[in-house]
Amino acid sequence: MEFTELVKTRRSAAKFIPDLSIPQEVLDDIFQLVKYTPSAFNLQHARYVVVTDPSVKDKVYEATGKQHKVKTASAAILVLGDTLAYQEAGQINEGLMHLGILSKQEYDLTIQSVTDFYLQRGETFMREEAIRNASLSAMSFMLIAKDKGWDTCPIIGFNPEQMRQALNVPDHLVPALLIAIGKEDTTSGRPRGYRKPVGEFVTTNSF
């Protein structure tokens, strides 16, 4: 699909065609492209839990206050951000050092500066970074899914603690949003929500 058309035709699905499973290959193809989403210092803070097992999906459905679209979605995907992603700076940059693209000195300096950047700004910033980077990744996911013929709905209406328990989420991961994915049942044909004119959300140089 042409990119402008893709952006314009992506909608948050109101309801999905029930009992439709999403092939693992489709999910794999989507994630292979999601990898290219930008992230601060290339730390790749985003984590995904793909829920297809009906009994687990039922718990996710409960955690969303029984949003019908979660029940009928082919999968419910929790997108999380890693508040401790900066601790992986070493591992992420190791390859570049082994290839000789980064000298040992540049490598050490990179790790030091990334670590200092997060430690100096503290826990609130680490949490913001987790959610910011995971959210960008989630947007990539939804556009890529649409390009592959799958509809999505981002969902923030859930109880985070209940979700944490249902999916055994470790403490350092913070839920950014849930994505319901499937094929939309378009029979209701609802119109798109109002969009502000550009002049209402863009200013140039200053407010």
Ligand X SMILES: Cc1cc2nc3c(=O)[nH]c(=O)nc-3n(C[C@H](O)[C@H](O)[C@H](O)COP(=O)(O)O)c2cc1C
Q: Which stretch binds ligand X (CB under 6 A): 19-27, 77-85, 120-128, 151-159?
A: 151-159
CA–CA gap between residue 71 and residue 158 (Å, rounded):
14
Return phi, psi of residue 186, to 5°: -95, 15
Question: What is the smallest separation between the CB atom of 157 and ligand X, expressed in angstroms?
Answer: 3
Name which of 111 and 143 has its Cβ closer to ligand X.
143
Q: Is 7 in the site for ligand X (CB under 6 A)?
A: no
Q: Is 155 in the site for ligand X (CB under 6 A)?
A: yes
Which of helix, strand or coil describes residue 50? Answer: strand
Cβ atoms of 43 and 89 closer than 8 Å:
yes
Q: Is 11 in the site for ligand X (CB under 6 A)?
A: yes
Q: Who contacts 148 (Cβ-Cβ below 8 Å, separation ≥6)?
A: 26, 29, 30
Which of 27, 4, 3, 2 minimizes the C-alpha distance to 150? Answer: 27
Name which of 89 and 166 has its Cβ closer to ligand X.
166
Q: Is 160 in the site for ligand X (CB under 6 A)?
A: no
Question: What is the smallest separation between the CB atom of 59 and ligand X, expressed in angstroms?
Answer: 17
In the complex, the residues that contact ligand X under the rule CB under 6 A are 11-12, 153-157, 177, 192-193
